[in-house]
A = this chain, B = another copy of it.
Amino acid sequence: MKINTLLSMFAPKDVKFFPMLEETASVLSQSSTYLQELFSCENAEHRNELCKLIKAEEVKGDKVTGSIIHELNNTFITPFDREDVHALADVMDDVIDTINRCAQKVLLYQPTSFPQHTITLVEIIKKGSDEILNAANELSNIKKTDLRLRAHCKEIKRLEEEADVVYEEAIMSLFKGATNNTYSAVELIKLKEIIQELEKAVNKINSTGKVITTILVKYA
């Protein structure tokens, strides 16, 4: 603590974390773009390709997060508290991991079709990811961008509430469909797990919004 305070008098404000956090957010946004493409794609081969691209983004995300944590362990001064950088990197990495798991489940389960609700959930994931990307790009200038940052966080929260309703409808209509034999029990199992994974992605996006809100409260 004392060392930190002392050094901060002599050292310039360390800004190398911002580009890294922005890179993570950009990987996140790219993953969600591929995911949206995956859910509108009917060609099996192209689906496989998209899943591989998402997996590649996940590997990239792991690498950037790893670098961030490595840097954190070797840096005295951070633009905002060490734990906040860590939390933000971690939670964005969680989103990327969850998006990857969504894609892998599509690849493994090969559902015969995507109900409209799943496509709506993926749209929300894409929108939420872009809010995160925009927020990440404004973090380095937090004193001036705080109003816009606040708006991004608010929109992420709104998207999560929207997704909650869609999720409930998705599950209910799935079970109704299975009872009416629109879906087989096997198809129900596939789609239920995919829908639950999509909902987890929305929740992780919402957690990211909360971390950014905490940072806003502390530093803006």
Contact = CB atoms under 8 A, between A and B. Distances in A.
A109 B195 CA distance: 14
Contact of A175 (B108, B168, B171, B172): B108
Interface in A35-69: none
Interface in A164-188: 168, 171-172, 175, 178-179, 184-186, 188
Nearest to A172: B108
A110 interface: yes
A154 interface: no
A186 B190 CA distance: 12
A175 to B, nearest CB: 6
Interface in A54-94: none
A190 B109 CA distance: 16
A108 B171 contact: yes
Central interface residue in A110, A178, A186, A192, by most chain B CB within 10 Å: A186
Contacts of A108: 168, 171-172, 175
A189 interface: yes
Interface string A157-169: 0000000000010
Given A168-B108, A175-B110, A189 B188 contact: yes
Nearest to A188: B186
A192 B192 CA distance: 14
Given A108-B171, A108-B172, A171-B108, A186 B192 contact: no
Nearest to A171: B108
Contact of A184 (B110, B168, B171, B185): B185
Contacts of A109: 171, 175
Interface string A178-220: 1100001110111010000000000000000000000000000
A14 to B, nearest CB: 25
Interface string A94-109: 0000000000000011
Interface of A: 108-110, 168, 171-172, 175, 178-179, 184-186, 188-190, 192
